[in-house]
Structure 1
Amino acid sequence: MLASGLSFVGVTGIVRYLGTDLPAAQSAFVRFAWGALFLAPALIGLLRQGFAGLHLGLHLGRGVVHVAAVICWFYAMARIPVAEVTAIGYLNPVLLTLGTVVFFGERLTLRRVLAIAVALGGALIVLRPGLREVTDGHIAQIGAAVCFAGSYLFAKRLSGVASAGQIVAMLSLIVTLGLAPLAAWVWVPMDLEQLAWLAVVAACATSGHYCMSRAFAAAPIAVSQPVVFLQLIWAALLGWAAFGERVDVFVLIGGAVIVGSVSYITWAEARERRRGPVPEVL
């Protein structure tokens, strides 16, 4: 999880460095095109097998939601501090919990309600609406969190009918194709340095997801989840050292509140699963 956090901070730092010179859709397309190139062997094998039995509707639904998510994320990352993007992104598992209740009929226990309420309170600490300006970058990152949660809900459904390799390969292919016309619409000339940096973004993202998968295989999520908070510390330090961004104590506190609530509910529900069924209270 430490290596995963560093990889994802590398992603955010590079996109922040590239700034607003490239439109969000174009940056996202080039990043995913590099990812598709890295996954070319798997994609070629998948295409040779054909699409029969692939549950194409689920893959396409996930791809559409994911396209919206990455465009919002690239837009936000170029406009608001690195630490704020990271802190707001911590809402993903909270929104995912709500989604499993709404779409998969999972139980809404009192513990879940309290954890969600605390996490949303942490988001308000980060944003502090009314006390400072909430920009379009903040709104875009909230939209990204919502859309990423939607993408993970599709992934949860697909995990029961498709292999992990198939899910990753199809996501890379569909998102790249979905971003292509949007990128063409806003395309601006780019140089080799920008192209190379976006290749590094794709490599860092791949590394981050790989390390996270290894962490989940090595230890329960309840053990690895608290380490995620260090990503916010590194993001704040990177923003301060590389971009002269002020270290906002409220962002750190709000991020800690969100991660703490997510870590608690993860740990508590893992313990309850070992003991027996959790009673439904709502």
Structure 2
Amino acid sequence: MSTTNQPSQPLLAVLWMMGALASFTSMAVAARELTQEISVFQVTFMRTAICLALLSPYAWKLGLAGLKTPRIKEHLGRNIIHFGGQIGWIFGVSVLPLAAVFSLEFSSPIWTAILAAIFLKERLTRARVASVTLGFAGILVILRPGSELLQPASFAVIGAAICFASTYVFTRGLASTESAFKIIFYMNLIQLPMGLVPSIPLWITPSVDLLPFVAVLGICGISSHYCIARAMAHADATIVSPLDFLRLPLIAVIGFSFYQEPWNPFVLIGGAIIFSGNLLNIWAEQKTHKRTV
């Protein structure tokens, strides 16, 4: 079932997912360009500042009463972890082939299944166990012994994927009382000083040539999530999610064309294995859901 009561509209879902793919790809390129000149912390701060500026008009409309939350501790915990994920992801983008970063990032739903079983007591079904197994197999293909990717930056990206998975688990709990806007607003509000403080001693004013990349990073940080939400509103996850895999060949082409990154078949194969595990889990969840409706 789609996430809303409206009829499924696969074409619209595909178009929204194309917007999401463009946003994620643009973010990676912008982060790569910016980290050639400024620190990872400063990149994170500037991204958060732009996102917060874009969210502020609606926050102003809601007012203090509309933004008030009794769950500030949960927001704080969620965003400390998410900030660590952002740092790991941007660091990975700055030094690893872009296709490798995206492939390892696909493991995030695998970690979500593990963490949900531990902290939310969700049952590890056979499909989820198979999904987790495929995820680990894909990681081993990418980070096989002797691979040039067997380095700290790769483990930073895996750490980022674990952090993002942790925030998904946090979000499941917060979503019971907090709106999506409030979760996103507090994410940027809390992470703003977290990025600013370590940026100050390393601060470098970006050159004029980098300013468009600063804007792209901030705008796409919001548009990527919005496009995915809209896509999910128009079609089932089983239709939308496979399109997300197109990020991998797309970023591989960009890495090859603009950064002379060689094609690595093990990265593409490993990414495909990891993603197949994600799809297996989604298919099983959809099947279970339809039986219970």
**Residues 82-97 of structure 1 aligned to structure 2 (within 5 Å):** 82-97=98-113
Cα 1:175–1:162, aligned 2, differ >3 Å: closer, same or farther?
same
Say yes or no: does 1:17 pair with 2:37. no
| CA drift at 1:47 | 5.7
Say yes or no: does 1:230 pair with 2:246. yes
CA distance in 1 between partners of 2:22 and 2:67 (Å):
36
Q: Indicate the SS of the match to 1:40.
A: helix
Match of 1:120 among 136, 155, 168: 136
Normalized against structure 1, the TM-score is what?
A: 0.92
Misfit runs of 4+, over 6 Å: none
Match of 1:171 among 179, 184, 187: 187
CA distance in 1 between partners of 2:201 and 2:78 (Å):
22
CA distance in 2 between partners of 1:249 and 1:185 (Å):
41
Q: Indicate the SS of the match to 1:161.
A: coil
Normalized against structure 2, the TM-score is what?
A: 0.89
Q: Which residue pairs with 1:80 in the alignment?
A: 96
Letter of the structure 2 residue corresponding to residue 149 of structure 1: A
| CA drift at 1:194 | 2.4
CA distance in 2 between partners of 1:189 and 1:205 (Å):
21
Gaps of 5+ in 2: 1-16
**Residues 101-250 of structure 1 aligned to structure 2 (within 5 Å):** 101-250=117-266
Say yes or no: does 1:257 pair with 2:273. yes
Gaps of 5+ in 1: 278-282
Q: Which residue pairs with 2:10 in the alignment?
A: none
| CA drift at 1:101 | 0.7
CA distance in 2 between partners of 1:96 and 1:261 (Å):
12
Please give the per-residue CA displacement for 1:100-138, whole angstroms capped at 9, x wherever unaligned.
111111001122111101111011112223444522221
CA distance in 2 between partners of 1:17 and 1:151 (Å):
27
Match of 2:43 among 1, 14, 27: 27
What's the % identity of the aligned pairs? 31
CA distance in 2 between partners of 1:223 and 1:50 (Å):
35
CA distance in 2 between partners of 1:166 and 1:45 (Å):
13
**Over aligned residues, Cα RMSD in angstroms?**
1.8
